[in-house]
Amino acid sequence: RHDAAGNIVVPDPKGPVVAQVCKTFVHPQSGKLSVVRIFSGTIAGDTQLVDASRGAAPVRLSGIFRLQGKRQDSIKSAIAGSIVALARLEGVSTGDTLAAPRSTVVMPTVEPSEPLFALAIRPKEKLDEAKLSQMLARIIDEDPSLRVGRAEFTNELQLLGNGEIHVKTATERLSRKYHLALETGQPAIPYRETITGSTEVHSRYKHQTGGHGQFGDVWLRIEPRPRGHGVTFEEKIVGGVVPRQFFPAVEKGVREALLHGPKAGFPVFDLHVTLYDGAYHDVDSSEASFKTAASMAIRDGLPKCNPVILEPIVRLEILVPSTFASTIVSQLTAKRGQILSYDADEQRPGYEKVIALVPQVELGRYITELRTASQGLGTFTWRHERFEIVPDKVAQSIKEPALA
């Protein structure tokens, strides 16, 4: 066996200890077990070890066990060639090299592949959110190819892995092993809305009660901006018809109203709003009244600006055997994909690399479809590219986002 530097590790029971964690188990009651393969030396209860993969961090042994099914038999020592379990090695992960102090030997590891399937996940009870974070850390300790992350635009908690079965098995293990009730589903598609036209809109909010009333009057100009420029706000008030202290309230009202668009209730982006006129009352005007007036103006004005829905477009780089490449291209075309290139892969003879832009909504289970079409040999990488206007036929089927 060779280490990461290519040097031979001699399997000598009397030599310096070199072992590698090949599997991790976390038991709800007894804690963590690290299954190690010993390449050199002998490990006993008093053996001094360091984690060579993490800067020679000291490792404290809490027992050595031989595993036989679910049974754990305590043993005093294990020599080179053995596969044993070491108890409660905190801070040690699968793939780490355990070695004698001052050792420079580090065994090679296999880097987990990039995740290809995501599942939205959350506890049924909000009180279990902290417990869920702890349990997710445990199953990732057991299986480093799993990932946990927040979605780029929706901030949705997601569990990611190598495929649908891989991820769903992990969630079932969470429920069964740690008695955690979960809600899972396909990740939310981060649709957006924008406008393609301009308008000017007037809104007055006036409310009279027994005491002070409320009064806010604004004129807003709403204009589209190029894709990706977000929401901007400015004021062009002349003569103090709206006092300066109310400008932040107007902007806040504008931005809050833009959280739910007129087409399907998705956030509105890529537009410019100008406050250019208005009126106020010496007694009744307040920040709250101007904020309300601005929100009313946006809600009235957006439907007049030819609103449209935007969908996220993903850039796919697919690697597939040449035999199946034409099938994959047809598959992508059926998903409204735009093929950018289709060439032989220089690093893998007999494989083709297909690069395409595809709507994210079409890719929920794409890794399963790709593997089915390529006998399990195809794979891909992806990243968000941009947002584009949704075709009218597709837009009609898009539902409003569920309230959290």
Nearest to 178 by CA among 248, 113, 128: 128
Q: What pLDDT, on a 0 to 100 scale, did the predictor assign at position 404?
A: 44
Nearest to 97 by CA among 42, 45, 34, 145: 34
**pLDDT tens digits, one per residue of 348-373:** 999 999 999 999 999 999 999 999 99
Q: How many CB atoms lie within 10 A of CB 22?
A: 13
Nearest to 11 by CA among 36, 34, 47, 37: 37
**Token digits of residue 49:** 């070890």
**Token digits of residue 395:** 């837009």
Low-confidence ranges of the chain (pLDDT < 70): 210-211, 402-404
Q: What are phi and psi of 197, to 5 degrees?
A: -130, 175
Q: Which residues of 364-398 are buried (b: 16+ CB within 10 A; e: fewer)?
A: bebbebbbebbeeebbbebeeeebeebeeeebeeb
**Token digits of residue 292:** 């309300």
Burial classification of residue 350, based on how many CB atoms lie within 10 Å of its CB (0-12 exposed, 13-18 middle, 19 or more buried): exposed
**pLDDT tens digits, one per residue of 163-174:** 999 999 999 999
Q: What pLDDT, on a 0 to 100 scale, did the predictor assign at position 351?
A: 96
Decide the pairing of beta strands 71-75 and 18-27.
unpaired
Report how far residue 322's alpha carbon sits from residue 319's, in angstroms, rounded to the nearest whole number: 9
Q: What are phi and psi of 192, to 5 degrees?
A: -135, 170
Task: Identify the residue whose tokens are 């044993």.
Answer: 84
Burial classification of residue 283, based on how many CB atoms lie within 10 Å of its CB (0-12 exposed, 13-18 middle, 19 or more buried): exposed
